[in-house]
């Protein structure tokens, strides 16, 4: 498969008045088109830092990050979509105005792009709420709206930083599966940071296990399920437990 991103020997430290905090140490991996990488690791190990580097919001101290052979620069790359724990929908705008916001800001709101986004609202069951305010939506619908807003910009890659962790357990399960299937249906490449191992296994094509800060890669575990298997079918399959134990072991080894 076509290589999309190359992360090579990346290290990063924060420098503050209190001194230096090494966050990442010698990170290497590649992302291919259509991959869904799930990154797991202990809290505070450097997962969000890694996504900020991939998004071009931070510059690596050592090493390099390339997207289609071009350096992801600090200017921020327009073809990278970034979705966070909080959906950042604006209450003073309708759902439609919210999902069009990115295009509006980037001055790319053509009639075709608008049609495209309204089509996604229809496909993913939000069209009848297009004139509603974000507070009238359920937590799951809000995350879906946030995803459509991100997809509206047609990103090459989606970076998701614990986007479901603000939801309660049951909602998280359904919303996680729902968002995962939308990303798959749209044929997008994604990198998901999560501390939920089950979420990682039920959505990922590979799970990258990070160690304690400064995080290095402890293991990259390919997850193999039939193409057609839904997240729920993955969760109920006999292999699921084996993957879980394998990742759990990697996470807890020498700690």
> Residues with Cβ < 8 Å from 221, sequence gap 6 or more?
206, 207, 208, 209, 243, 246, 247, 250
Under the binding rule (CB under 6 A), the answer on residue 149 touching ligand ADP is no
Minimum gap (Å) between residue 32 Cβ and ligand ADP: 24
Residue 37 or 103 having the CB closest to ligand ADP: 37
Locus of tokens 């931070």: 58
The residue among 42 and 63 lying less far from Mg ion, judged by its C-beta, is 42
Dihedral angle at the C-alpha atoms of 48, 49, 50, 56, nearest 10 degrees?
Answer: 110
48 is a site residue for Mg ion (CB under 5 A): yes
CB of 78 to ligand ADP, least distance (A): 23
CB-nearer residue toward Mg ion: 83 or 95: 83
Q: Does 14 bind ligand ADP (CB under 6 A)?
A: yes
Q: Should residue 85 be labelled a site residue for Mg ion when binding is judged by CB under 5 A?
A: no
Residue number closest to Mg ion, CB atom: 48
In order of 5, 30, 123, 166, the CA distances from 33 in angstroms are 9, 10, 23, 29
Q: CB–CB of 71/77 below 8 Å?
A: no
Between residues 121 and 210, which has the closer beta carbon with respect to ligand ADP? 210
CB 37 within 8 A of CB 192: yes
Q: What is the contact surface with ligand ADP in residues (CB under 6 A)?
A: 14, 16, 21, 23, 41, 43-49, 213
């Amino acid at each position: 498969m076509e290589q999309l991103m190359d992360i090579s020997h990346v290290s990063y430290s924060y420098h503050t008045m209190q001194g230096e905090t090494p966050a990442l140490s010698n990170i290497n991996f590649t992302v291919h088109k259509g991959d869904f990488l799930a990154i797991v690791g202990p809290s505070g190990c450097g997962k969000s830092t890694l996504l900020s580097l991939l998004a071009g919001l931070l510059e690596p101290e050592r090493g390099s990050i390339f997207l289609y052979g071009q350096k992801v620069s600090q200017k921020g790359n327009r073809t990278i979509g970034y979705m966070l724990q909080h959906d950042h929908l604006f209450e003073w705008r309708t759902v439609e105005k919210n999902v069009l916001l990115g295009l509006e800001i980037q001055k790319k709101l053509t009639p075709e792009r608008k049609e495209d986004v309204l089509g996604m609202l229809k496909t993913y069951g939000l069209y009848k709420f297009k004139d509603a305010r974000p507070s009238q939506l359920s937590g799951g619908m809000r995350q879906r709206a946030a995803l459509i807003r991100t997809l509206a910009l047609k990103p090459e890659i989606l970076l998701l930083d614990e986007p479901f962790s603000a939801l309660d357990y049951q909602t998280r399960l359904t919303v996680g599966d729902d968002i995962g299937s939308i990303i798959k249906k749209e044929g997008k490449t994604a990198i998901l940071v999560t501390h939920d191992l089950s979420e990682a296994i039920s959505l990922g094509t590979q799970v990258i296990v990070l160690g304690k800060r400064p995080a290095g890669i402890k293991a990259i575990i390919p997850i193999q399920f039939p193409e057609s298997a839904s997240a729920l079918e993955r969760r109920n399959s006999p292999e699921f437990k084996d993957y879980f134990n394998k990742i759990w072991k990697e996470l807890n080894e020498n700690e």
